[in-house]
């Protein structure tokens, strides 16, 4: 299994910008746009993900709305497999299944197309997003994938906000790989 060195992890960390008080006071927002426009860092990340996941015999990569689309679609193309979007409610045009989840204040919903995995049972799926915080979005996305009878092989995140303990929540039902634990 390919591992990133501490030096390589530092290159990725340095490419992510902290923005204070966004979207509200007290939040330190992890801005990955600065990694995306750093070709060395973006290429390092995608090459690492390609090396890791080419061993997994995956059928699809599912990316979480919206930043998971960027990494997920790029990875699916490298692995020469299909990409499936897990979207916030009301955005997917055909028949969907949906799952509600709790936010800090209130609720939200994510959806997936019922035929996203071509009706194939036990399709091997990787779930990917940029960041794991409370784990609420990832938990709901994992449920969706399982509800359409696919096999969720792993959930992968570039960043894990360890103080929010999301990894422990998601690991209760799915193997989790996080690259940067901050
Ligand atoms: O672990 P959680 O507490 O559920 O939070 C993590 C989610 O929050 C962020 O997305 P956001 O909802 O801000 O949407 P965006 O990507 O469209 O900005 C992030 O990209 C994850 O999807
Ligand atoms: N601190 C943070 N930075 C970026 N995205 C997030 N999603 C939840 N918390 C976040």
SS (H, E, C) the chain: CCCCCHHHHHHHHHHCEEEECCCCCCCEEEECHHHHCCHHHHHHHHHHHHHHHCCCCCCEEEEECCHHHHHHHHHHHHHCCEEEEEEECCCCCCCEEEEEEECCCCEEEEEEECCCCCCCCCCEEEEEEEEECCCHHHHHHHHHHHHCCCEEEEEEEEEECHHHCHHHHHHCCCCEEEEEEC
Tell me if 125 sits within 8 A of 61, measured CB to CB. yes
Q: Report strand pairing: 96-102 vs 151-160.
A: unpaired
Tell me if 77 sits within 8 A of 58, measured CB to CB. no
Q: Considering the domain boundaries, does residue 2 fall inside one?
A: no
Chain segment 94-142, per-residue pLDDT in tens: 999 999 999 877 899 999 999 999 988 999 999 999 999 999 999 999 9
Query: Which residue's CA is minimally distant from atom 8 of ligand 2?
Result: 133
**172 alpha carbon to ligand 1 midpoint, in Å?**
20
Cis peptide before 23 (omega within 30 of 0): yes
Q: Considering the domain boundaries, does residue 3 fall inside one?
A: no
134 lines ligand 2 (CB under 6 A): no
Q: What is the CATH number of the domain that holds 138?
A: 3.40.50.2020
Q: How many whole angstroms separate alpha carbon 17 and alpha carbon 35?
A: 8
Q: Considering the domain boundaries, does residue 37 fall inside one?
A: no
Instruction: Look at 2-6, 34-38, 103-107, 170-174 and tell me which has the smallest mean pLDDT.
Output: 103-107
Q: Considering the domain boundaries, does residue 49 fall inside one?
A: no
Predicted pLDDT of residue 103: 84
Chain segment 11-31, per-residue pLDDT in tens: 999 999 999 999 999 999 999
177 lines ligand 2 (CB under 6 A): no
**57 alpha carbon to ligand 2 midpoint, in Å?**
30
Tell me if 68 sits within 8 A of 128, measured CB to CB. yes
**154 alpha carbon to ligand 1 midpoint, in Å?**
18
Which atom in ligand 1 lies closest to the alpha carbon of residue 135?
A: 1
Euclidean distance between the first and final Cα of the chain, in Å?
22
67 lines ligand 2 (CB under 6 A): no
Q: How many Cβ atoms sit within 10 Å of the Cβ of residue 72? A: 26
63 lines ligand 1 (CB under 6 A): no
Q: How many Cβ atoms sit within 10 Å of the Cβ of residue 68? A: 25
Q: Considering the domain boundaries, does residue 44 fall inside one?
A: no
CA–CA distances in Å: residue 18 to residues 13, 35, 97, 136: 10, 12, 35, 22
Query: What is the predicted ipTM?
Result: 0.98
Q: Considering the domain boundaries, does residue 71 fall inside one?
A: yes
Q: How many domains does the chain have?
A: 1
Instruction: Provide the residue range defining the domain that includes 141.
Output: 56-181
Instruction: Look at 61-65, 102-106, 112-116, 177-181 and tell me which has the smallest mean pLDDT.
Output: 102-106
Q: Considering the domain boundaries, does residue 26 fall inside one?
A: no
């Amino acid at each position: 299994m390919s591992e990133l060195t501490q030096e390589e992890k530092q290159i990725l960390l340095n490419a992510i910008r902290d923005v204070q008080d966004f979207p509200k006071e007290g939040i330190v927002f992890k801005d990955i746009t600065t990694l995306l426009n750093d070709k060395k860092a973006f290429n390092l990340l995608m090459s690492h993900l390609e090396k890791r996941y080419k061993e997994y015999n995956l059928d699809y990569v599912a990316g979480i709305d919206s930043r998971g689309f960027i990494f997920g679609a790029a990875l699916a193309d490298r692995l020469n497999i299909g990409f499936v979007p897990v979207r916030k409610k009301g955005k997917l045009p055909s028949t969907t299944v949906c799952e509600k989840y709790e936010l800090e204040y209130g609720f939200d919903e994510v959806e997936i197309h019922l035929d996203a995995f071509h009706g194939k049972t036990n399709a091997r799926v990787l779930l990917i997003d940029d960041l794991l915080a409370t784990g609420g979005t990832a938990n709901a996305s994992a449920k969706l994938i399982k509800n359409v009878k696919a096999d969720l092989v792993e959930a992968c995140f570039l960043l894990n906000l360890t103080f929010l303990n999301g990894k422990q929540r998601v690991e209760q039902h799915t193997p989790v790989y996080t690259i940067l634990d901050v």
